[in-house]
Amino acid sequence: MRSASRLVLPLAFLAALACSSPGRPTGDTSVDRATLEMDAPMEVERDIVLAIHGGAGTILREEMTAELDAAYRAELSAALEAGYAVLAAGGTSLEAVEAAIRPLEDSPLFNAGRGAVLTDDGHVELDASVMTGHDRRAGAIAGARTPRHPITAARAVMEWTSHVLLSGDGADRFVAERALQRMDPAWFVTPRRQQQLERMRAEDGGDEERKYGTVGCVALDDEGRLAAGTSTGGMARKAWGRIGDSPLIGAGTWADDATCAVSCTGHGEFFIRGVIAHQIHARMDFGGVDLPSAARATVLEALPEAGGSGGCVALGADGTLVAPFTTPGMYRGWVDRDGSVTVRIHGDERH
Ligand code: ASP
């Protein structure tokens, strides 16, 4: 137990507002770096920490009803409570990550599990990954159609196979063999996502309005072990077979007790090409910089410079927590010093 010495944990949340500026081509999500801001650091005293995201994107107040806003906040809070309860009971960070992500996968509000976005041909193809920081083990599934909880399937790949990533039919066969809960592929498809696909087809849109909606969690347990997990349906109207960053270790998910745990959300192709989760780790490991600097340089500078958009939650081995994003909003939350839950959605919600 590390609890003998209470840690003082600076909790610095980064937020970036992607202001639309004239002269940019439609769909250009690059941001003006002058608009990127950083929330004031917050002091948190504790030896267990948990944070989640529910996706970054164009989350506009004018498009959010009071009921929907309340529903998002309630479900993010419930997920945080589920994960935190595991840590508070002495569970591992891996168990906490899984416990926090499962309710978000069950919620039709988020782009993971039931309610995930649809492929161009109207199916759900689920991606998820987990990684533990003390041993750098990892597991992932991609393009699966049946696991009710893709994050649990990813954990099972890590714990029950000698592989890291199983895809497509193989992932579904593995889920069946492990007797994990399976659902009919139609169970995952919600009317809201069907309407979204129809709208996108009518407008011939790609990744509609850049609302990403992936879910992820990072946690630090009282043994000082970090873990990260991410679960998604990918990008709306993606091509069949397309695999994003979320199941790719180093792109969408990373954990190393020497540096940090990271879970990403955003336009996956840019996260893959920038190896964004690992890039944050590498800046700390090889460059010796602290987590806020590494996260800022990666997510608020390198990512938009490459034309990408999105965000992450990243938790340092010392408990430092950051949540940078280049989009107008990112569903996010964490548990503070007395175990109470904070949830934020918009970029202008600050300390
Ligand atoms: N990163 C995910 C992907 O590209 C999408 C998201 O974050 O919602 O598959």
In this prediction, residue 134 carries a pLDDT of 98
pLDDT in tens, 30-50: 445 445 555 544 545 458 899
Give the mutation target among 109, 127, 238, 246 for probing the ligand 1 site: most ligand atoms within 8 A of CB.
Answer: 246
| Stretch (H or E) spanning 262 | strand 260-266
Query: Ligand 1 site: residues with CB under 6 angstroms?
Result: 55, 111, 212-214, 232, 234-235, 244-246, 252, 265-266, 268
In this prediction, residue 163 carries a pLDDT of 98
Q: Is the pLDDT of residue 280 over 70?
A: yes
Give me the residue label for tokens 């590494």. 294
- Residues annotated as catalytic are 214
State in Å: Cα 302 to ligand 1 middle: 18
Q: Would you say 14 and 224 are in contact if contact means Cβ atoms under 8 Å apart?
A: no
Overall average pLDDT of the 254-260 stretch? 98
Q: In whole angstroms, what is the distance from residue 290 CA to residue 186 CA?
A: 45
Backbone angles phi, psi at 128, to 5 degrees: -160, 155
Give the mutation target among 53, 232, 249, 313 for probing the ligand 1 site: most ligand atoms within 8 A of CB.
Answer: 232
Helices (H), 89-190: 93-106, 150-160, 168-177
Q: If DSSP states are collapsed to H, E and C, what string results for 187-212?
A: HHCCHHHHHHHHHHHHHCCCCHHHEC
- Ligand 1 atom nearest the C-alpha of 213 is 8
The Cα diameter of the chain in Å comes to 60
**β-sheet bridge partners, residue 321:** 11, 315
pLDDT in tens, 242-253: 999 999 999 999
| Stretch (H or E) spanning 213 | none
State in Å: Cα 289 to ligand 1 middle: 27
Give me the residue label for tokens 């935190």. 84
Per-residue confidence band for 350, with pLDDT thresholds at 50, 70 and 90: low
